[in-house]
């Protein structure tokens, strides 16, 4: 069976983002970009399935501007077999990405789709669930363990109260949480090899998908900055201050 | 048109996060939206529906009682919401793991974009939501006919759990979609309050060094009636289970008092707790970023400070 992973190009998790002066968004010029960390976990999980013999081929998907190809190359350098890029300058929102994914999945017919649970830029946490809905497939979000056998996927999910295990009919969509695995680094030889791996490029029109945004961002602002307080010298002083000054205990 | 809030519940009672979502629905009402209805979809969930009917400001409770809804599987519950959607202008759920799992599936079936994790209501179609781990706030306007929304609990003070007397009406759905089944749950058992509704939280980070050392935090937590949380580093290291994690992709909390112990203060952790009323940081590294946002900082060895804190609290509680 084939596995498809979706990878998003986002501002690197170590970058402290700054809101643009004109309040239209955050500064992304000259900022380090990386693969969304949850998507790295998705790629790693697909590679492990291939290494275990469950999956024969891993396809890495991304959508957006030309530079998203670099994010696909990163997935290929980690070990994915080939890429699919949907090229567009339009701001893509999760519903549009889910529709693009659906169109590609209908061509490629993977049996398992693995996606990060959330992108660390828009923090939406939607695409996997939306894709599963559009395909009429089952979903397991926030996965910390994935086992595939006999046409079904057993997935342990990180939920508010602890862990929950569900069993899904295949094909299925799984979204990754932090504890699913620890992604590998791409080795230099694999980075070189990745340059030769094929990437198919489509436009949203090729796939017959309308990607017009449904949400309009009216403005983006900085939150109120929290001011640092004081250092206290002792536990006794801390408890006194919490009692008499902050009045929280 | 009315606003439908999807209740977070365990079939017997309604979880506090529901009250925050009802508060957001009430703000929509102030902005011009209609009555608030609550959906309780579950199995043998009459008690939860009765509890939902008592929530102040709720006009009607819809109960969908079916074995297929017992574990809240999104494949089964989403079509039920889609069938109810034509009667509503807004569908809301708390931004809990349950709400986050369910609502995007509903939104896609309705061909609308979800508005995730709102922290403010500007009008019936315009909302504020944090992006980039809360380092920016976006004001977004939805052009879709029905608004599917998840609500950041900490941004909406909970409504009253008592005082309402809504009618309870049974609704039916298609039941099981036959795509997925619940296998088991391994839920953390604790006598302490839930993280997302606790008045006081004490959290440990990598500095705790091991899971065994969390008993030092637990002793203080018990003195303060606090919940115990953790940073991602502590969860990844296996000190404590995943449901302890506070942060951008874990739980978002805003208690009266948040005590961060041995937590350096990565932006991803700060994203989950920086709206707390009072923040205390205990860390041996005086350069730790956590001190930049703490109201009270104490530099020192947590293994010495925590027992002292425990003793000091014991003294003052006498």
Cβ–Cβ of A177/B242 closer than 8 Å? yes
Of B78, B105, B140, the CB nearest to A218: B140
C-beta atoms of A167 and B180 within 8 A: yes
- pLDDT of B317 strictly over 80: no
Query: Å from B294 to nearest chain A CA?
Result: 5
| CB pair distance less than 8 Å for B292 and A228 | yes
Query: Does residue A175 sit in helix, strand or coil?
Result: strand
A25: alpha, beta or left? (left if phi > 0; alpha if psi -120 to 50): left
Q: Which of residues 46-75 of A touch B (CB under 8 A)?
A: none
- Strand B114-118 vs strand A2-6: parallel, antiparallel, or unpaired? unpaired
Check if A190 contacts B (Cβ < 8 Å): no
| Substitution target from B94, B114, B222, B248 for chain A, most A beta carbons within 10 A | B114
Whether residues B111 and A95 touch (CB distance < 8 A) is answered with yes
User: Contacts of residue A139 in chain B, CB cutoff 8 Å?
Assistant: 74-75, 101, 105, 180
| CB under 8 A, 24+ apart: contacts of B66-70 | B66/B41, B66/B172, B66/B173, B66/B175, B67/B43, B67/B175, B67/B176, B68/B43, B68/B173, B68/B175, B68/B176, B68/B177, B69/B41, B69/B42, B69/B43, B69/B45, B69/B173, B69/B175, B70/B11, B70/B42, B70/B43, B70/B44, B70/B182
User: What tens digit of pLDDT does each residue of B143-187 get?
Assistant: 999 999 999 999 999 999 999 999 999 999 899 999 999 999 999
In 3D space, the residue among A1, A236, A188, A230 whose CA is nearest the CA of residue A108 turns out to be A1
Task: Give the gap in angstroms from C-alpha B139 to the nearest C-alpha of chain A.
Answer: 5
Sheet holding B257-261, edge to edge: A230-231, B296-299, B278-283, B257-261, B200-204, B227-230
Cβ within 8 Å of residue B210, ≥6 positions away = B239
pLDDT digits (tens, 9 = 90+) for A218-229: 999 999 988 889
What does B255-308 look like in DSSP terms, one character per residue? -SEEEEES----HHHHHHHTT-SEEEEEES-TT-GGGGT-SEEEES-HHHHHHH
- Gap from B8 CA to chain A (nearest CA, Å): 11
8 Å CB contact of B142 and A11 = no
Asked if residue A64 lies in contact with residue A121, where contact means CB atoms within 8 angstroms, the answer is: no
Q: In A, residues 94-153, which contact B (CB 8 Å cutoff)?
A: 94-95, 98, 117-118, 120-134, 136-142, 144
The CA-atom distances, in angstroms, between A5 and each of A39, A108, A246 are 8, 12, 49
Q: Are B242 and A162 an interchain contact pair (Cβ–Cβ within 8 Å)?
A: yes
Model confidence over B44-92: pLDDT tens digits? 999 999 999 999 999 999 999 999 999 999 999 999 999 999 999 999 9
Chain A residues closer than 8 Å to B73 by CB: 166
- Look at B185 and A165 and tell me if their CB atoms are within 8 Å: yes
Contact across the interface for A142 and B97, Cβ inside 8 Å: yes
What is the ipTM for the molecules in this complex? 0.96
Residue in A closest to B314 by C-alpha: A239
What pLDDT is stored for residue B123 in this prediction?
98
pLDDT tens for A175-218 read 999 999 999 999 999 999 999 999 999 999 999 999 999 999 99
Q: How far apart are CA B84 and CA B67, in angstroms?
A: 19
pLDDT at residue A44 tops 70: yes
pLDDT of residue B188: 87
Contact B71/B11 with Cβ under 8 angstroms?
A: no
Taking a C-beta distance cutoff of 8 angstroms, is the pair A2, A111 a contact?
Answer: yes
Give the pLDDT confidence of B200-235 residue by residue, as tens digits. Answer: 999 999 999 999 999 999 999 999 999 999 999 999
Question: CB A214 to CB B115 under 8 A?
Answer: no
Look at residue B62 in the predicted model and tell me its pLDDT: 98
| Contact criterion met (CB < 8 Å) for A221 and B139 | yes
The average pLDDT across A152-157 equals 98
Higher pLDDT, B188 or B293: B293
Q: What count of Cα atoms within 13 Å lies in the side-chain half-sphere of residue A67?
A: 10
| Interfacial B residues in 174-213 facing A (CB < 8 Å) | 177-188, 196, 200
Which residue does chain B place closest to A249, by CA atoms? Answer: B224
Q: What is the pLDDT of residues A57-69, one digit of tens each?
A: 999 999 999 999 9
Interface test with A, best of B135, B251, B267 (most A CBs within 10 A): B135
Task: Name the residue of chain A whose CA is nearest to B281's CA.
Answer: A231
C-alpha span between A173 and B105 (Å, rounded): 12
Q: In the block, which residue shows the tokens 């590609």?
A: A104
**Residue A220 in contact with partner chain B when CB distance is under 8 A:** yes
- Mean pLDDT computed over every residue of chain A: 97
A62-79 burial: b if 16+ Cβ within 10 Å, else e: bbbeeebbebbbbbbbbb
Query: How far is the alpha carbon of A38 from chain B, nearest alpha carbon, in Å?
Result: 10
Best residue in B201, B228, B242, B246 to probe A by mutation, most A CBs within 10 Å? B242
B314 touches chain A (CB under 8 A): no
User: In terms of Cα–Cα distance, which of A68, A106, A59 is closest to A87?
Assistant: A68
Residue B318 pLDDT greater than 70, yes or no? no
Instruction: Return the number of other C-beta atoms located less than 10 Å from residue A200's C-beta.
Output: 14
Inform me whether the C-beta atom of residue B116 falls under 8 Å from chain A C-beta atoms: yes
Q: Is B80 helix (H, G, I), strand (E, B) or coil?
A: helix
């Amino acid at each position: 069976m084939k596995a498809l992973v979706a990878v998003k190009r986002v501002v690197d998790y170590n970058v402290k983002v700054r809101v643009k002066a004109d309040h239209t968004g955050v500064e992304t010029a000259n900022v380090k970009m990386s693969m969304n960390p949850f998507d790295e976990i998705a790629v790693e999980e697909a590679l492990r399935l291939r290494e275990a013999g469950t999956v024969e081929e891993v396809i890495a998907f991304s959508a957006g501007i030309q530079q998203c190809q670099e994010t696909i190359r990163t997935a290929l350098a980690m070990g994915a077999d080939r890429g699919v890029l949907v090229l567009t300058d339009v701001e893509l929102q999760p519903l549009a990405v889910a529709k693009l994914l659906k169109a590609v999945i209908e061509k490629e017919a993977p049996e398992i789709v693995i996606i990060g649970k959330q992108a660390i830029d828009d923090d939406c946490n939607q695409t996997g669930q939306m894709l599963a809905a559009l395909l009429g497939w089952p979903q397991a979000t926030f996965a910390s363990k994935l086992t595939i056998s006999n046409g079904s996927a057993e997935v342990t999910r990180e939920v508010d109260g602890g862990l929950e295990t569900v069993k899904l009919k295949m094909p299925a969509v799984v979204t990754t949480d932090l504890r699913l695995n620890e992604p590998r680094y791409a080795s230099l030889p694999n980075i070189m090899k990745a340059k030769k791996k094929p990437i198919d490029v489509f436009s949203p029109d090729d796939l017959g998908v309308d990607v017009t945004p449904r949400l309009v961002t009216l403005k983006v602002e900085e939150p109120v900055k929290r001011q640092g307080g004081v250092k206290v010298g002792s536990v006794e002083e801390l408890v006194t201050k919490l009692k008499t000054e902050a009045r929280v205990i | 048109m009315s606003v439908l809030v999807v209740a977070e519940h365990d079939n017997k009672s309604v979880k506090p996060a529901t009250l925050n979502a009802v508060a957001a629905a009430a703000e929509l009402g102030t902005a011009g939206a209609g009555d608030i209805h609550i959906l309780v979809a579950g199995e043998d969930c009459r008690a939860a529906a009765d509890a939902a009917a008592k929530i102040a400001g709720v006009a009607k409770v819809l109960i969908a009682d079916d074995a297929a809804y017992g574990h809240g599987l999104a494949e089964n519950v989403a079509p039920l919401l889609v069938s109810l959607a034509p009667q509503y202008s807004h569908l809301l759920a708390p931004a809990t793991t349950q709400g986050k799992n369910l609502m995007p599936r509903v939104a896609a079936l309705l061909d609308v974009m979800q508005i995730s994790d709102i922290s403010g209501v500007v009008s019936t179609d315009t909302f504020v939501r944090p992006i980039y781990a809360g380092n920016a706030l976006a004001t977004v306007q939805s052009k879709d006919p029905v608004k599917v929304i998840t609500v950041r609990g900490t941004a909406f003070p909970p409504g009253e759990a008592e005082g309402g007397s809504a009618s309870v009406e049974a609704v039916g759905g298609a039941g099981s979609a036959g795509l997925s089944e619940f296998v088991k749950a391994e839920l953390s058992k604790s006598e302490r309050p839930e993280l997302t509704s606790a008045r006081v939280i004490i959290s440990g980070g990598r500095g705790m060094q091991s899971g065994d050392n969390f008993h030092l935090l637990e002793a203080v937590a018990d003195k303060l009636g606090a919940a115990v949380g953790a940073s991602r580093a502590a969860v990844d290291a296996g000190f404590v289970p995943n449901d302890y994690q506070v942060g951008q992709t874990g739980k978002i909390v805003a208690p009266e008092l948040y005590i961060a112990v041995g937590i350096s203060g990565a932006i991803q952790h700060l994203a989950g707790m920086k709206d707390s009323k009072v923040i205390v940081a205990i860390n041996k590294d005086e350069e730790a970023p956590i001190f930049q946002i703490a109201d009270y900082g104490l530099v020192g060895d947590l293994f010495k400070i925590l027992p002292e804190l425990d003793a000091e609290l014991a003294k003052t509680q006498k």
